[in-house]
Every structure is written in C-alpha cells, then in structure tokens.
A and B are shown apart, each in its own frame.
Chain A
Amino acid sequence: MIKSVLPWPLAGILLAVAFLAAIAFVKPIGVSTQFVIFDGIIWDLIQPDTIVIDETAKTGFASPNAYLNKSGGKYAHSIANPVNYSFIFVISMIVGAFLSVLLKGDKPHNSLEKAMPPVWSDNFGQSTKKRYIWSFIAGFIVLFGARLAGGCTSGHMMSGIMQTALSGYLFAASAFATAIPLALILYKNK
C-alpha cells in the first residue's frame, strides 16, 4: 500500500522521474505560462480581435498585446490552439492530483483544513474570508512575479536547475530570499 505522503527519498525519486521523463520525451515541465494562455483564451472570447491570424508572424498568429505577440506570436498561437502539449499537460496535472487523492492520497482532513492549513488558523484565526482574500492577493503576487521572472517553481527552479541553467539558480535564490524570512515572521505561533 502506498502512503498518502511518501518518505522524502521516494517522493524525490517520483518527482525526478516526472521531470526527467518530460525532458526525455518532449520538453521541460513548466506551469505558469498556462495562466497567461487561459487568460488569453477568455480575453479572446470577450474581445475576438485579441488574437489574429498573421501570415507574416513566425507562428502564423499575432496580437495587439505586446506580451501575447512576443517571440513571433508564441502565446497568441497557443491561445488560438488550446489543445496543445503545455496546456493539456497542466490540465492533466490537476487530474493526476485528483487521481492520487482517490488512491488515498493527501487531502484536507476537515472543513476548516479545506479553507486553510492549521499553521494559518493558529496564527491568524479561523476566518475563512480573511484566508481567501489573502490567498487571492498571494496568487496575484505569485503569478505576476512568475511571469516577470519567465517561469515558476517548476519551470525555473526544478527544470532550470536540473539543466544547470543560470536563470534557475538566480530564481531559486531570489524566491527563498523573501519566502523564508517572511514565513519566519508571519508564522510565529506553533
């Protein structure tokens, strides 16, 4: 029987298999770009000229938005074709976590834990509203930061460092430089 949370060497091996297999078969794992792709799909639904066909662009697609248009319309192309490797990968990742839970994986034990981890309620009380607002703000900061950095924990830290990318080391050092001191300050109780 597999444990809900594996001992660290086994967890490490399982994660290594995922990251190595991704590069061996297709390309390095990355997640945060797909937030832009999802935004772009919604944006293009509301405002259909957000993504346009452009024969002169490298990918055949362009956008009046500089970010979606960059690298020859790379993001514009993915938004116009949501059934692409990276987008399906991220959706499958959510399915994978769900399947793990079905097979007795790690999940919140009670209704309070569904809203916040115990370390949060021990330090900031049991208000779900407060936790949700701060989670929303944190999500905003994390994805703004990830897009500014050009990647997140999976793309820069894991995939980057395993390829010995300089950017991966810079990103990891920067992320922990704020995350560790802030966590030590925020969560003093228990």
Chain B
Amino acid sequence: MELILSIILGIVFGFALNRAGATNPQNIINMLRLQDLHLMKAILFAIGLSSALLFILLAINYIDPAHISVKTAYIGVIVGGLLLGIGFAIAGYCPGTGLASIATGRKDALFFTLGGLLGALAFTLLYGWLKETTPLFNEIAGGSVSLANTQNEKYAHLIDMNPTLIGVGIGIAFMAIATLLPKSIVKN
C-alpha cells in the first residue's frame, strides 16, 4: 500500500514541480536575482496553505501526529544551507528539481545530478570525521523543535499557545506575503 502511495504522491509532486515552473533553471535564477518572483509567490503560498491545513487537520484528528517529522536544528543546518544556496544560484537547480528537470530534457540537470551524487558521497565519507572534530552537529535551541505543538510526543515546541492558532496564523501570514509580494523587485 505504501509503495502505491509513493508512486502516486511522487508523480503528483513531479507534475507539480514542472507545472510551477520549478524545473526551469531560468525561473529559479530569475527568482534569486529578484527579477521574477512568480515561483517565490507560488512557494510561499504553498507553504502557507499546507501549514494552515496541516494544523487544522491535526486539530480535528484527520492527520496522525505520528506522520509528523521535525528535523533537528544544529549548526550544520545553517552551514549546509549557506553552501546549498551557493550551488542553487550557480546552477538554478536544487536536488529535487535537478532530478525532475532531467525528465524534461535538460542536460545540465544531468551534470548537476552527477555532481550531486559525488557531493553526497563526499559527505558520507567525511561524516565520521566531521562529527568527531567539528561542532557542526551541536544542536540549536533543543534540536528537534517546532514553533507550534505538533501533538507528536517526540518533538518539543517553542511557543506554548493553541497550535491551530499558530499554524493557521503563520499559514495566513505566508499566503498574505505571497499575495502582496510584487512580481518583480529588480527591473531589467
């Protein structure tokens, strides 16, 4: 059953990435150089809508809190994010859109993915040494924490308020920013 779901959900996600224009590095780079924020508006709206609906569905017990998975916050999240941003700007691809873009006939996406496989291997080989010798894996603010209570006992939360209110509030804020954000900040 899980495998059938993985096929359906994966196809929906790949389809959505293509239809959002995220499999075109032109759109990613134009978003990052603030010339065309179409994709940024779509992403912010998606985060806002899914966040609001997630916390509503959690509150009425339509989503099992066991499905929640809050990733740990540690120094490496920041350093890794800074690194990812560099490659993101150079190529106009991230791991998911790079793979999906190969299917749309983009050859640079194939080279990006091959580089990615080597980068992931390099990290796999260096992990033990990095963990022993650097503070990269030191946790921040308790590690696996969310702002709102997700009802999953594995994860602590930072704001002790009604989680539906926080989730929906943040969700609406993201959707409002998506709507108010101009289509372009830097003109040609």
Contact = CB atoms under 8 A, between A and B. Distances in A.
Interface in A83-97: 83, 85-86, 88-97
A88 B14 CA distance: 12
A45 interface: no
A176 B186 CA distance: 16
Contacts of A133: 111
Given A148-B79, A162-B54, A167-B71, A138 B112 contact: yes
Interface string B122-165: 11110110110000100011001111101000000010000000
B100 A166 contact: no
Interface in A1-50: 2, 4-6, 8-9, 11-29, 31-32, 35-36, 38-40, 43
B172 interface: no
B71 A150 contact: yes
Contact of A166 (B11, B116, B130, B145): B145
Contacts of B176: none
Contact of B51 (A40, A92, A164): A164
B103 A95 contact: yes
Interface residues of A, number: 122
B: contact size bracket? 35 or more
B119 interface: yes
Contact of A172 (B5, B73, B81, B93): B81
B6 to A, nearest CB: 4
Interface of B: 2-3, 5-21, 23-27, 29-30, 32-34, 38-39, 41-47, 49-51, 53-54, 57, 62-63, 67-74, 76-109, 111-125, 127-128, 130-131, 136, 140-141, 144-148, 150, 158, 166-167, 170, 174, 178, 186, 188
